[in-house]
Amino acid sequence: MLDKPQVIKTTAQLAAVIQITIPREQIRTVMDPGLKELMAAVAALGITVSGPWFTHHLKMDPNDL
């Protein structure tokens, strides 16, 4: 059972971003290498990751189903 949603205030955090434009069917094969590339770039800057990674889909074409 899900808890009732709550609106909370938190401290803003920076996010590292890599933008990838691919067909929908390639998401499973591209996400892992993309994440590894992003993590390597962050590590090269000497930055420590402080939370889980997430994806944000800027556009999803319904015709790609």
pLDDT tens-digit series, residues 45-56: 999 888 888 888
Give Cα separations from 14 to 11, 22, 24, 42, 43 (angstroms): 10, 25, 27, 12, 15
Structure tokens given for 52: 């889980």
Tokens of 5: 């949603």
Mean pLDDT of 53-60: 81
pTM (2 d.p.) = 0.65
Predicted pLDDT at 65 = 58
Q: 15, 10, 2: which is closest to 55 by C-alpha?
A: 15
